[in-house]
Amino acid sequence: MNYTGKYFDGKSSVGHVADIQLNSFQIDIFYTDAAFQAHHVQWNTDKIHKNDFAEHDKVILKYGDFPFQYIEVTHKGFEHDLKRQYPLAPFHKSAYNWVFSKGAIGLVVMAMAFLGILAFTYFYVVPWGAEKFAMTLPVEWEQQLGESVYSKMVSEESINETDTKLINDFFKKLNYPTDYNIRVVVVKDNVVNAYALPGGRIVVYEGILRKMDDYRELTALLSHEFSHVQLKHSTRNIARSLSSALLLSVLFGDASGITAIIIENADAIKQLGYSRQLEEDADRNGLALMKKRKIDPHGMKELFETLQKESEGEEDGYKFLSTHPLTKDRITFVNKEISKKDFIWQPDAELDSLYKEIQINLEE
Amino acid sequence: MENHTHQIRLHGDGGKYFGILIVNLLFTIITLGLYYPWARAKNLQYLYGETEFAGSRFQFHGTGNEMFKGFIKALAIVFVLGLIYNLSILSKNSAIIFVGVAVYILGLLTIIPLAIHGGLRYRLSRTSWRGIHMGYRGNLRELFGIWFKGILLTVLTLGIYGSWFNIALTQYLMKHVRLGNVKFRYDGDGSDYFWLNVKGTILTILTLGIYSFWYARDVNHYYFNNTKLEQDEAVSDFQSNLTAGDIFITGITNYFLIVFTLGIGTPWAILRQMRMTINNLELNGPFNPDAVVQTEEDYNDATGDDLLDSLDIGLDF
């Protein structure tokens, strides 16, 4: 196969018009220079450089070591003949040329697949990984995180000091085994809400205490929130919801701001809903704790039912429901758990009296 | 000697460029960023290969392997500087913060000329046309001299010396650029450039930004029209025919091209933007494209080029 092209010898910019032959094992190049001297150059196909992004009507091949030689052939059939003559030669192999060989539709499909992978990673893989990572964090780190969020939140709230002391006494009487330093705080606000922060802070609003009927319901609430802390739900939840934002901030160059982002989002953390699975885990764990402590588990069911029923009439204030979705399914779930295990319970005078004191201090 | 006009053209096909960028992005993400140097090499390889001067294409010879080594070194340098800065801030001790920030700023100021020097040597060594390699023969110590004198005077004159600094730097760099035995030269003058900037800034403010297109055109013309090629004592002139209208229209249409395609049009926009500058260039004079002789040596340390990339400084040739 013979072609006419230009040969550059790597020594000067003169393009010699050359006869280019594609022979079985090598490319032979014949040209005559300005001094009418005839030249024959042989190219071993293994030493031809990779030919990415070749254009169909113009092929430029580069050869050997520095300074490189070139041939330039402007002919539609040349690229095709090169491939046919040297199908196994290394200079053809290129991931890019493989992609281009798929044509426009192939490119679009690849772009879509790529966007799909990206979206999947962003919405599922990253949060999942962040959650797994969060579970390995040491308690001290969780505590630090919880404290920084807590101090930001509490600066905006006023605290019922007496009830805070009483409710901590109440919680200590429950005697739940834990590595966390659990500290409960009662906030003077009529919002019906309670939430747990990573590392051991539990925030209870006066509003939810007012809705309660007896100490069993308070035990249920605290057992549930404590379970969120103990099972690292709060840490996992924050890691999950902020992971994508964190990833973006790391990708775009601000790796230092992780804690800053978490603190900035402190208010959003209050509103974070748990997944249904996490809620069930917390309910189950809470019930198990109550069982061990011999407290009537119906307290949990009754607490949920009161909150559920009363919320139907009102629009505002029931923040607990947005962060702890109380579906009918969940009440059924609690019922089932109660009937499954043989609970034994007995009245607890100490808890009862602490509970009553808490209620009295609300009335002021 | 006869005078000729030689055109410079950027060909390039948006669809193909899109494919290259997509593959680059894909590999870079799959490898958690490690592919980036190879991606950069492929990107340059495509763009150089699509640029034609006097009927022949440029070639970029840099390889991912070379650029990866430079990438790691550049990353290490930038990382150490960043570490010094962050650790000093975290210490919360004002004396340590002062020293840390001073080291950081001095470090950055020292890195930039180093990066320009190394970057030009690498990038030009890896650029060829008709098999003839370009090269940069500047001296690092001289460059440091111009650089620190320029920074110092620019700070002392509250920025006024910036125009002279810019021109002095361009002159020095250009003077040491080679294409084989062809030399480059830059004839710009600090005072002219200063008044060009004064006029441009004032009129831009007075016209609420409208003049900025003419200002950008003036800067472009001042840059290219003062760039010369010397081939065996014969001087040829670059000329830019870019108009303010080109800048305005290209800017607006590219904006819509990117926004309305949700970014998919970006490769087309990049090519259009580059074409606007390159296709308006021509070389006038006795330059003989068949008489360039190979003179430059091989140079394969890409650290400077990667440093410039990580500091986001472009090498626009």
Domains of chain A with CATH codes: 2-97 (2.30.29.30), 136-363 (no CATH)
Among residues of chain A, what percentage have pLDDT more than 90?
24
Residues 175-234 of B with CB under 8 A from A: 180
- Which of these ranges, A39-43, A186-190, A336-340, B192-196, has the smallest mean pLDDT? A336-340
Nearest CB among A60, A72, A99 relative to B23 is that of A99
Q: Does residue A157 or residue B274 have the better pLDDT?
A: B274
Number of H helices and number of E strands within chain A? 16, 9
8 Å CB contact of B130 and A53: no
Does the CB of A136 have a partner CB in chain B at under 8 Å?
Answer: no
Q: What is the pLDDT confidence band of residue B317, given thresholds at 50, 70 and 90? A: very low
* Mean pLDDT in residue range A285-295: 90
- Kindly give the pairing relationship between strand A183-187 and strand B177-179: unpaired
Q: Report the pLDDT value the prediction gives residue B236, as an integer from 0 to 100.
A: 95
The answer to whether A286 touches A227, Cβ cutoff 8 Å, is yes
DSSP assignment of B142-172 equals HHHHHHHHHHHHHHHTTTTTHHHHHHHHHHH
Residues of A in contact with B290 (CB under 8 A): 12-15
The answer to whether A240 touches A292, Cβ cutoff 8 Å, is no
The three-point CA angle A323-A327-A332 to 5° equals 130
Q: What is the pLDDT confidence band of residue A240, given thresholds at 50, 70 and 90? A: confident
* For residue A324, pLDDT beyond 70: no
Assign B140 to helix, strand or coil: helix
Does the CB of A7 have a partner CB in chain B at under 8 Å?
Answer: no
φ/ψ (deg, to 5) at A153: -70, -45
- Which of these ranges, A81-90, A237-246, A264-273, B154-163, has the smallest mean pLDDT? A264-273
* Model-wide pTM > 0.80: no
Q: How many A×B Cβ pairs under 8 Å? A: 82
Tokens of B193: 């450039």
Is the N-terminal amide bond of A177 cis, ω within 30° of 0? no
Residues whose CB falls within 8 Å of the CB of residue A228, separated by 6 or more in sequence, listed in order: A196, A234, A274, A278, A282
CA A127 to chain centre: 2
* Mean pLDDT in residue range A180-201: 89
Interface test with A, best of B10, B11, B24, B26 (most A CBs within 10 A): B26
Shortest Cα–Cα distance, B137 to chain A (Å): 18
